[in-house]
Amino acid sequence: MKLFDVSVLGLKKIYDMPGTWNDTDYRNLLSGFEVDDVDELSGGDLLEILMMVLQDLGPEDAGETILEYKLSNHVTKGVRQNIVQDLLEGQRAWEETADIYLHADIFAACVLLKQAFPKVFPRPDLLQLRLQLIATGSSGRTIISLEPEAAFVARVLADGMSENSILERLFDEQLAGNSFPEAEGMVWQSGFSECSADGKSALLTVYSSEHWLESMEDIGDFPSNAYNDRPDEGEE
C-alpha cells in the first residue's frame, strides 16, 4: 500500500537559497579580519564592508578564507585551495567535488565570492523543487507533521525518477535500506509548508543541485512509499 500521492508543482533554476548568509556570518568574517565596530553595523553596510575586504584580499585568498569559514575543519587548506582553483577555472565545484557532503557549503561560498568578484567566479545555481504530498494513512500523516528527514526526501525523489536515474544507480541499496546518511549531502535544504487542517497534505520544497534534481523535470504525479531512516532496525 502506498504512503503518499505526490504531484510535482514546479522545478526551477535559482541562484541562492534561504539562509545561505546572514548578518551573523558577515560579522564573524569581519571579526576575523580585525575590522573594528562590526557589532554596530547591519545589513547592507556589513555586506559592503565585507565585499571591500574580500576584494583587497584578491580572488584566491578570499576564496580560501570563505571556504575555511564554511567548511571549518572538515577539509585541509590544500583541499580548499584546490576547490578555489576549480572555481576559478569555471568548474561547478558545488556539484562536482568528490565529497557530496561539501556541496551545499561550497555553493554558499560561491554565492558570496560571485558578489565580490563577479567577473572571476562562476555564478552558482541550484534547483528548487516543489512537491504536493497527500498521505494515504496515519503513517504518512505522522511523517509530514514533522520536519522532513533528508533520507525521506531522497526516497520521495527516487520514487518519482526512473530506475536509470543517477540517484537509483548510485544508492539503490540505501534507498531500500534502513540508513541513508548520504542523503544529507544531496538534499541541501527542505521543508514542509501549507499543511492541511486534517494533516493529510503538505507542500514539500527541496533545494539541491541540478545533478540530483534534473531528473524530476517533466514528471507529473506518482505514488511514493518513502519513509524515514530506521536506525534501530539495522540492515538486513
Residue 219 one-letter amino acid: I
- Which 8-state DSSP code applies to residue 123? P
Mean pLDDT of 163-171: 91
Q: Has residue 167 got a pLDDT over 80?
A: yes
Q: What is the pLDDT of residue 233?
A: 61
**Kindly report the CA angle at 208 between 147 and 140, in degrees rounded to 5?**
30
Report pLDDT for 41: 75
Percent of the chain with pLDDT over 90: 84
Let me know if 194 is exposed, middle or buried by CB neighbors in 10 A (0-12, 13-18, 19+).
exposed
- What per-residue confidence (pLDDT) applies to 2? 86
What spatial distance separates the first Cα and last Cα of the chain, rounded to whole Å?
Answer: 22
User: What pairing do the DSSP bridges indicate for beta strands 189-193 and 221-224?
Assistant: unpaired
Question: Is pLDDT above 50 for 236?
Answer: no
Model pLDDT, residue 115: 96
- The confidence score (pLDDT) of residue 231 equals 77
Whether the CB-CB separation of 131 and 210 falls below 8 Å is answered with: no
- The answer on pLDDT for 48 being more than 50 is yes
Does the pLDDT of residue 235 top 60, yes or no? no
Helix axes 77-88, 59-71, angle to 10 degrees: 130
Domains of the chain, residue spans: 4-15+126-224, 23-116
Cell of 136: 494515504
pLDDT tens for residues 179-190?
999 999 999 999
Q: What is the pLDDT of residues 121-139, one digit of tens each?
A: 999 999 999 999 999 999 9
> In this prediction, what percent of the chain has a pLDDT beyond 70?
97
Q: Provide the grid cell at 111.
A: 554565492
CA nearest 151: which of 191, 179, 114? Answer: 179
Tell me the pLDDT of the chain averaged across its residues: 93
- How far apart CA 207 and CA 27 sit, in angstroms, is 26
User: How is 124-137 classified by DSSP, letter by letter?
Assistant: P-EEEEEEEEEESS
Beta bridge partners of 224: 4
Q: Find out whether 233 and 217 touch, Cβ atoms under 8 Å.
A: no
Q: pLDDT tens digit string along 76-101? A: 999 999 999 999 999 999 999 999 99
- Give the global pTM: 0.92
CB 57 within 8 A of CB 29: no
Is the pLDDT at 75 greater than 70? The verdict is yes
Contacts of 85 (CB under 8 A, 6+ apart): 60
How large is the average pLDDT for residues 53-81? 94
**170-209: pLDDT as tens digits:** 999 999 999 999 999 999 999 999 999 999 999 999 999 9
Instruction: Rounding to the nearest 10 degrees, give the CA dihedral for residues 34, 36, 40, 46.
Output: -50
Phi, psi of 49 (to 5 degrees): -65, -40
